[in-house]
Structure 1
């Protein structure tokens, strides 16, 4: 079954936009609903993100693979699931979508459409957390992809990200596009632009680690087992 690239790019843009709006919007709502309890804020933010991501993958997965994440697209391309030409178009669409989603989230809560975050997150524990969080995400996605269990990806990814909000000090961004997008909202979910490079480098390091691990653990994977249906 072939899927036009134009449809896939629209799906990646809309999915990335809605993902950023979901993450940032729920962060703003949590900050306003529970202004004196950061733990409750994180719980609210994580729960909304987990269930929302589950739904977004179900909606857009059949069209584009529901990557919404340049690191996922990169690993998929290296493993032969996504053509490099498509990868070169997926990435800017994902980044633009996440930035647009940040603007949407700000507007939804009557905040300034673009407000640059002042939340500094560039410490070594945050960076290491992003390596661990992103590595775990890639292992979840591609272990399912390479063993023919792609139908479980939506639930597994949502569950993993919801958990990773809690076991990582960075609250598991695990995505360069959403990292850039969250810099455009000075809210609970925001990240200062000066911290963005640290996170993106950590996420790319995770991809470098994930590739040999996936090939070691699942050496006999077939191309048709790739969980995310890719446009041709």
Structure 2
């Protein structure tokens, strides 16, 4: 078992770089696309998928590469980690996600603190987040069982696709959602819309855990570090 402090460092580094990429690529995409939201979204999706592949591949052997409280919750509920470790993972993920947003702002010479102004609310957005998170969790849980070596490509591919087939552009991550409330750039979300997204994400997570339990069987737990 790898020491907890090393796993937490890996989670912090991965989550920070993930959010730096999400926000930074959004800023760059808007700047280079001359106001074309489709091109900006394509740049944002491609950069996010690319960094996810790299981060999962290099940090997965250390921490399991959760970078997402939904993944951590699923692993705890399936008995793959203790409550103490899960709580530490989630705290680090949220803090590092916010730090990643601030780092992106600093690199583009923007105000470090800028509350989000992008409205993301309503039934369609919440349904999209539930579907996006459920799909991500199923990709992770089933992939860990059947294709553990392909997890970086599976997760990256799913997120790239989910940017385009969901109305919410697939946050699918409570830490990401909280952190993106600290930016009014292309990637942002209004602070008052965070709660609805997080509830939808948790609902999607629970649905995925239930589906995975049926498909995989409760007596054969998924290993987060296979």
Match of 1:65 in 2: 64
* Alignment match of 2:154 (pick from 142, 153, 156): 156
* 1:152-210 alpha-carbon deviations (Å, 9 max, x no partner): 11000000000000000100000000001111111000111011001000000011211
Q: 1:35 offset after TM fit, Å?
A: 2.9
* Alignment match of 1:213 (pick from 203, 211, 219): 211
Matched residue of 1:113: which SS? Answer: coil
Contact 2:143 2:154 in 1 (8 A): no
Match of 1:77 in 2: 76
Match of 2:121 in 1: 122
Q: 4+ residue runs of structure 1 moved beyond 2 angstroms?
A: 220-223
Contact 1:12 1:93 in 2 (8 A): yes
- Root-mean-square deviation (CA), in Å? 1.2
Match of 2:202 in 1: 204
* 1:22-73 alpha-carbon deviations (Å, 9 max, x no partner): 1111001001111321111111110111111100111210110000000100
Distance in 2 between the 1:145 and 1:30 partners?
33
Matched residue of 1:56: which SS? Answer: helix
Match of 2:95 in 1: 96
Distance in 1 between the 2:158 and 2:211 partners?
18
Instruction: Report the count of equivalent residues.
Output: 226
Match of 2:193 in 1: 195
1:53 equivalenced with 2:52 (yes/no): yes
Distance in 2 between the 1:220 and 1:75 partners?
13
Structure 2: 5+ residue runs without aligned partners?
Answer: none
Matched residue of 1:146: which SS? Answer: helix
TM-score scaled by length of structure 2: 0.97
Distance in 2 between the 1:68 and 1:92 partners?
11
Distance in 2 between the 1:181 and 1:35 partners?
26
